[in-house]
Each structure stands twice: as C-alpha cells, then as structure tokens.
Chains A and B, each alone.
Chain A
Amino acid sequence: MKGKAFLKIFLTAFLLFFAAAVPAFAAVGCDLNDPDRDVVRLFPDSTGYKTSYAAIDKRGGEPLLRRVEQRLRDRFHGIYETIDVPYTIYEIYNGKRKVGYIHGVNQKGQFGGIQVFVALDMEGRIKSFYIQKMTSQWAKKLRDPKFGRQFTGLALKDFEAYDPATGKASGKVAEIRNPAPEAEIDFRAALRALKKNLILIDEFVFSAERGKP
C-alpha cells in the first residue's frame, strides 16, 4: 500500500506541474500534429520542410486585415479570430528545390474547432485538402478523403466569388458536394476556412514572391 501510494502521489505531483503546459502565444495557432508524418502524406515527393509563423499584425497590421476580410467577403469574428493569431506555414522541399506549401487555419465549427490544412503547389493550386480535427457526429464524412479530393486542382481564383456568409457559390466551387447535409454549418465552415487559408497564404507568401507590396 505504501509503495503504490507513493507512486500515485509522485505521478500526481509530476503531472500537476507538467501537464498544465502553458502555451507561449496569446492566441493559439494551428500546427500539424505530426509534421514528419503528415508532410510526407500530403506531399509524397518531399524530402524535407521548413516551418515558419506569420501573423496579420506583424505582416501588415490593420490594412492587411481589411484586405483579407474584403477578399474573404466576411469579417473576422469572436475572441479567437484575432489579428495576432499565428499561422503556421510549412515550406516543402524536394532536395534543395521548393515544391510547395502546407498551411493550416483554425475555424469555428458547430460543436468545436475545425483545423483545416491545404497542401499547395508552387502555383497555388490545391494538391490535398485535410481536416485534422473536427467535432461532429458527421465528422467522419467530412474527413473522408473522398470529400477532400473534390478540392484538388482548385485555386484561390475559384473561390473569389464564394460568399461564406450566405454559402452562395459559383463555378467549380458550386460543384462541391456536401456529403453530410445534416452538418451544413460545418460544411460551410470548412469552405470558409479553406478560402481564408488560400487568401492568407496568398498574402503571406505568393504576393511576396510576386513582388507586390
């Protein structure tokens, strides 16, 4: 009894002080749970990757936020979608050659947070679409690869006309099928997250490469 009790107390003590790990950022970002495994899965021909973080307040401040909201056709909501949220950008390499990007955003879903990742090629076209986390009875359907495959080949320009507030879409985006009609809210949230994701990576990465201010 004595030995076991001590062990339990020790474990509590240990966990008490180390389990409550404190994040270093004021707002929480969106990382891949296991980048080593996930990068390879999303980019089969990759040999390595580099991780960097970008936040709207550091990359352009209020003006950038306005521009993003304008392109998104929706405002940033709530206490978690703030100007200082750090977004994780993974630069994917094959040898010394950059072959694409992976980028993730947090999105508020109906019952919990949705973490949406896209893998893009160097022209900004979607290679893969991946929902790392979602809380919903129908999450399985939206996390099914069949759903994600609908986005392959699409790019930001396809989403320009998409309106997250109403869900009205045109062109290729309108053809995207919702496999879980009961989870309409989450389906639309995923699309909003995707559009936001594409806009952000365009602002953070592609426009810089294009030489735009």
Chain B
Amino acid sequence: MISGFQIAYKNLLRKKSRTLLTLVGIMLSSWVLVSLLGFNRGYESALNRDIDNMGYQLMVMAKGCPYEAATMMLQGGTGLRYIEQSMVDSIVIRPEVDKVTPILMQAFFDPDKGDGGGIAGYFGVDLTTFPTMKPFFRFRQGGWFHDEQATEAVMGFEAAELEQREVGDMILVPEKNVQLKVVGILERTGTQDDGTIFVPLKTLQRISGIDKITTIGIKVKKDADSAKLEAALYQLPDVQVVSFTQVKQTIMKLVATARVMVLSIAIIALLIAMVGVVNTILMSVLERLQEIGILKTMGAMPGDIFRLVWTETLILCFSGGVAGIGLAFVFARLSDILVRRVLPYAPGGELVAIDLKLALLTLAVIVVVGLLSGIYPAWKAGRVRPLESIRGE
C-alpha cells in the first residue's frame, strides 16, 4: 500500500535540483526571518537588563540640569544646578519608594589631560544607600569607602585603567588639588559607571564647597504605582523627573521603526521564497498533467489530487523552514561566540535569542504562508480533466 504522503514526497524527488533550489530559497528566507525575530527579542531583553542594572528607576534632579555624566562632561561641567539634600527626606517617606540615594555630580577641568585638557567626572555617593542600589557591582580590587567622610575613591574599571590606578594608589582631584586614596576598583559593568570615579558624598561636598546635591536616585517598590509616584514628584519645586522606563520606551520607539523596516525585508524575502514555491509546484503540475489525468482514471477525486499537490507544498515549506531555523540556531551560537571574542564584554545572555517557542512560531508562519500560496496550483491540478490532459500529447 502506498500513502498520499509517499507519493507527494517521491514526486518532489523527480526533479532533484529544482526541489533543492526551492528548498534553499525557503531555507534562506526562514533563516533571515527567525534570526531577526530572535534578535528583536534578544535586544529587548538586553535593553531591559541594562535598565535594570542601573539600580534605580527614577532620578530627580534640578530643572535644566544635564543629568548624564557624559553630557555633563561634554558641556564642560558648567551649568550644573543643585537641589537641596533635604528633598531626600520628603521623597523617602512616600509609600511607593523602596530606596533613595542622594548623588552629587561634579566635573573638574584637568589642563594636563591631553593637549587641550579634559574633564574628570566625579560622583559623590552616600555610603549607606548607594551600594545597596547597585548590588551587582563587583570589585576587581578592594571595596567601598570606610566611612562617610573618608578621603577615598572607588574607580570604575575604565577610569582606573586609564590612570593605571590600583588599590592603594593616590589620585588627584584637578582644580582643587586634593589627593584621594583609591580603595576599590570595580569590574566592568558595561554602563557609564565604568568611567566614573566614586567619592563619599560628604567628601565631595567638602572638596567642592557645596552642601547640596545634583541627583536623587529612586528605587521603586516592586508592585508600586510608578506613574503615581512620578506625578507626585513632578509637584516638587524646581525639579525634573527622569524615568528610565520612559527612556526605555523612547529607545524602543526609535528601535521600533528600524525593526519594522527590517521585519518588512524579512517578510518580503519570505514572499519571494513563496513565489519560488508556487512556481516550482505549478511547473511540476503542468509537467504532470497527463499523469494527473491518469490518476483520475484510477479513481482519484479532485480533492485527492488537491491534497496530493498541497502535500508537496507542505513538505517543501516544512523542510525548508526547519533547515533554515536549524541554520539560524547554529549561526546564532557562532555569532555569539564571535561577538564575545571581539568584545571582551558583551551584554550577558544571548544577543540573538532564538528559543523553541520562536522557532515553532516562525515555522508555523512559513508553513501557513506556504499552504496559502500552494492553494492555487493544487486547485488547478484538481481541476484537470483526464481526457484533455491525456489527449494533450
């Protein structure tokens, strides 16, 4: 006994190179599709991770203040505005707030850093609250300051590397010519903290002669209403609230446009491959008109013929899809390894995150699209009249 599946499968083997070429087409387009979907997901989770790694989700700072250390450095450390440290107390009592930490950002001009001079950025942080906000900070050497007034510093990985500092060495705060002892050097975090020098808040305030702060970092309780908190914080005088969720949303919006474009390309690739499938099947139907006619004389109903041809489409799309997704898996691992070789630090986890669910989803898409495109050739085959086809020699 022979089944419809076997007949279909053996039919595809008749023109091996044509079948193979069609398969390659589907394989490539499914590879592209699944890789892009995987990258989308990998990117979004990497983004989430980076945001989470900031430790705090909200920042409160003086209106008009550049709150990013790099911006600050670009602007040359001028235009910094301050907020009162007492604001911390009014924020910490709010029910949605888990933790707060006051931060003072300062930049000092070092005329001997390169030819035109450069900016050195310092973060004054509170010993009791800041480290708990960043529990994932790892130390390459040493640890945090010994007390709140210590003339000590903790350096980010790159900041230390640039200055060739190790624990026990001294650094000099430019302009103020104050010496600080390095007590800790952090491991890489992949964020801007790598280029930052951390100093006890009170110490930095003393050095700068300022008793205020620039930023308050806020960690929100897990199930709290973040939006409500933000709205309340906006009410505080002369401050602006920066939410990293907002940042993430902005980035995702920017990325979304690119994503749509890229996804469209993947879909077009898929459609082109499907055109290839339809063409292949149609050609093979036209080549087999007489044979189909004979099948009908054997008692094959139009529905049987339709199913037979449709099965051929199914086999092509399924095999091509599986092959393409398999390829994507292999290459995802490969490109992951490559990326890690080139960059000693890449965001943790997979950059191209293809999991089984995604693979199955992509396969389903390919099979469904394939079956839809296969309707026409199958229908045409079903409608063949034995007489016309047999006579047509």
Q: Which residues of A contact B (CB under 8 A)?
A: 5-6, 8-13, 15-17, 19-20, 22-26, 28, 33-34, 78-81, 106-113, 132-137, 139-140, 143
Contacts and interface: CB of A to CB of B under 8 A. Distances in A.
B68 A15 contact: yes
B112 A12 contact: no
Contacts of B174: 135
Contacts, number: 110
A136 B250 contact: no
Contacts of A107: 164
Given A16-B191, A112-B165, 14 more contacts: A5-B240, A9-B242, A12-B242, A20-B192, A22-B190, A24-B342, A24-B343, A79-B141, A79-B166, A106-B164, A111-B170, A112-B163, A112-B171, A135-B163
Interface string B81-115: 00000000000000000000000000000111111
A28 B161 contact: yes
Nearest to B248: A13
Interface residues of B, number: 44
A20 B194 contact: yes
B172 A112 contact: yes
A47 B193 CA distance: 41
Query: Which A-B residue pairs are the 10 nearest by beta carbons?
Result: A111-B172, A139-B112, A19-B70, A112-B163, A108-B164, A113-B164, A113-B163, A80-B164, A15-B70, A13-B251
B331 interface: no
Interface in B131-155: 140-141
Q: Which of B113, B174, B345 has the most CB of A within 10 A?
A: B113
Given A19-B192, A26-B344, A135-B163, A9 B70 contact: no
Given A19-B192, A79-B166, A113-B164, A33 B172 contact: no
Interface in B343-386: 343-345
B170 A110 contact: yes
Nearest to A5: B240
Contact of B171 (A12, A13, A22, A135): A135
Contact of A13 (B141, B163, B254): B254
A13 B164 contact: no
Contacts of B161: 28, 80
B125 to A, nearest CB: 19
A6 B172 contact: no
Contacts of A139: 111-112
B71 interface: yes
B1 interface: no
Nearest to A81: B164
Interface of B: 50, 66-68, 70-71, 110-115, 140-141, 158, 161-166, 169-172, 174, 177, 179, 190-192, 194-195, 240, 242, 246-247, 250-251, 254, 342-345
Contacts of A132: 114-115
A135 B240 contact: no
A15 B190 CA distance: 13
Contact of B172 (A16, A17, A136): A136
Contacts of A143: 112
Nearest to A108: B164
B112 A133 contact: yes
B163 to A, nearest CB: 4
Nearest to B346: A22
B115 A28 contact: no
B165 A9 contact: no
7 contacts: A8-B66, A12-B67, A16-B192, A26-B344, A78-B166, A79-B141, A135-B174
Contacts of A11: 68, 71
A6 B250 contact: yes
B164 A33 contact: no
Contacts of B67: 8, 12
Contacts of A78: 164, 166
A12 B61 CA distance: 14
B171 A28 contact: no
